[in-house]
Structure 1
C-alpha cells in the first residue's frame, strides 16, 4: 500500500489545498480560474474523496494525470477499490453516491481502481519558510505525526496498521470532541471527511470539507502560504 508521499518546497509558485471534491470538478475548475492558478508554477493538493455523489467522478482519471494535481486516498476511493476487488459492499457504495461506477465497463472500473490504489494515505509538503504541512483524509492516528506515519506504515504490526488505516479514512472523533490539542511534529494538518460550514481550525488541524456534495454546501480552496480561503457554492454551479 502506498502510504506516504513527500514533496519538496515549491520554489516557483503557490501551493493550494482543496476540500472533498466528490465529482464536482466544474466547481474546482472555477475556483482555479478565480485564483489565476498557473499550471506551470502552482500545485494543488486534495484531501481525498475525489469521487461519488457529484456528476463528473470519472474526471478524476484526467485530473490525477496532471503533474500539478495530487491527492491522498479518501474513504470513497477506498470503497471503490474494495468493491472492484470483490471485497466491498456494492449496495453501501451505491447508497453513498457510487452508482455511477456500475454504469462503467469492467475495464474502466479496473482502470479507476488501479489509479486510486496508487494514491498515498498521507502527503507531506515542505514549505520554503521551513514549515511542514500534512494531508490525510479524516484524522491522524496519533497526536504525534511521526507515530501516526509509523502506524500507517506497519511499523507497529498489522493490527495497529489496520486501525491507523481506519482512522485515516473514516475517523471523526477529534472534531466531535472539539479537540484543540495540536498534532506534534507537523506545523499544520489538512483533513476532509467531516463536513463543516466553513473551513475550521482545531489546534493545528484544518477541516476543509465544506460540503460541496450537498445543495447548501461549497467547495473550498486554501492558498497555503497566505492561508486565504476561496469558496464557490453549489448554487453557483
Structure 2
C-alpha cells in the first residue's frame, strides 16, 4: 500500500477537508448537511483521528465504506493498527476503551481496515495541489516527505510516519515557513478554538468532537481554501 494516496481533480463537485472526528459522526453529518454536501458529486477528506473519545466509534466502518469519504491516518487511528503492541494504558486514558471490549476477531478486522488508511493524501484542485496529513509535514517540501516515506529503511520510515501523526512543533513555534510543492497543507491534531493558518499550512481541528465546550467542525473547501465557518484573519492561535 502506498503511504501517500493521490486523488485527481474533481470535475463534478466540491472537495472538503474536515478536522479530527473522534467518534462524532452524527455531528459531522449535521455539518455536511449545513454545507449542502452532495454525496453524488462532492468528496470529503479527513485529517484523521476518526475514533476514540466519542460515542460513535463503531460507526467508523460505515463511514470508511462511503465512496466519497477519504481519511488519512491519525495517531488515534494508529493505536487501532497497533492494538496488540501499543501502550495500552496511554490509549485507554485517551479514549480507547470502546475497543477493549470488542471480540478479538472484530479487533483484528478493525486493525486490517485501519492499516489501509494512508499517512498522507494529495488532491489535485483547479488552483493547485493540496496535501493532507494528520499532524504536520516537518520537511521543507511535499516531495521530500514522499521520498522519506518511500525510504528503504523501515526504522526511518516509521519515524517519519510517527512525525506526520504526532508532531506539534509547527504550531507551538508559530512556524510560518511554507511546505514547498503544495498550494496548501491541511492538518488537524491540535485542538483549537478557531482555525489557524501558518504559512500555507491550515490547522482545522476546531474540536467538533467537544461540542460541550463550544467545539465545532470546520469544513475547508479545498478548491477555494475558504472555510465554513470562515477562518478569522488573525493568525494567533489559542490552544484548547
Q: Same fold (TM over 0.5)?
A: yes
Verify: 1:188 aligned to 2:221, yes or no. Answer: no
Which residue of structure 1 lines up, in the alignment, with residue 156 of structure 2?
A: 160
| Deviation beyond 4 Å, 4+ runs, structure 1 | none
Verify: 1:133 aligned to 2:114, yes or no. Answer: no
Shift of 1:36: 1.1
Deviations 1:80-118 (A, max 9, x none): 1111xx211222111100101112222221111111100
Distance in 1, Cα, partners of 2:58 & 2:158? 28
The DSSP-based 3-state class of the residue aligned with 2:135 is coil
Which residue of structure 2 lines up, in the alignment, with residue 11 of structure 1?
A: 11
Aligned with residue 171 of structure 2, among 160, 171, 175? 175
- Asked if structure 2 preserves the Cα contact closer than 8 Å seen for 1:44 and 1:70, the reply is yes
- Asked if structure 2 preserves the Cα contact closer than 8 Å seen for 1:146 and 1:185, the reply is yes
Shift of 1:226: 3.0
- Asked if structure 2 preserves the Cα contact closer than 8 Å seen for 1:31 and 1:230, the reply is no
TM-score of the pair, normalised by structure 2: 0.91
Unaligned runs of 5+ in 2: 230-240
- Asked if structure 1 preserves the Cα contact closer than 8 Å seen for 2:44 and 2:68, the reply is yes
Unaligned runs of 5+ in 1: 232-237
TM-score of the pair, normalised by structure 1: 0.92
- Asked if structure 1 preserves the Cα contact closer than 8 Å seen for 2:4 and 2:119, the reply is yes
Distance in 2, Cα, partners of 1:153 & 1:122? 12
Q: How does 1:20-59 map to 2 (within 5 A)?
A: 20-59=20-59
- Asked if structure 1 preserves the Cα contact closer than 8 Å seen for 2:138 and 2:163, the reply is yes
Deviations 1:152-186 (A, max 9, x none): 1215x334322211210100001100000100111
Superposed CA RMSD? 1.3
Give the number of equivalent residue pairs. Answer: 227
Distance in 2, Cα, partners of 1:2 & 1:56? 28
Deviations 1:45-81 (A, max 9, x none): 0000000001101111110101100000000011111
Which residue of structure 2 lines up, in the alignment, with residue 97 of structure 1?
A: 95
Distance in 2, Cα, partners of 1:2 & 1:111? 20
- Asked if structure 1 preserves the Cα contact closer than 8 Å seen for 2:126 and 2:223, the reply is no
- Asked if structure 2 preserves the Cα contact closer than 8 Å seen for 1:3 and 1:120, the reply is yes
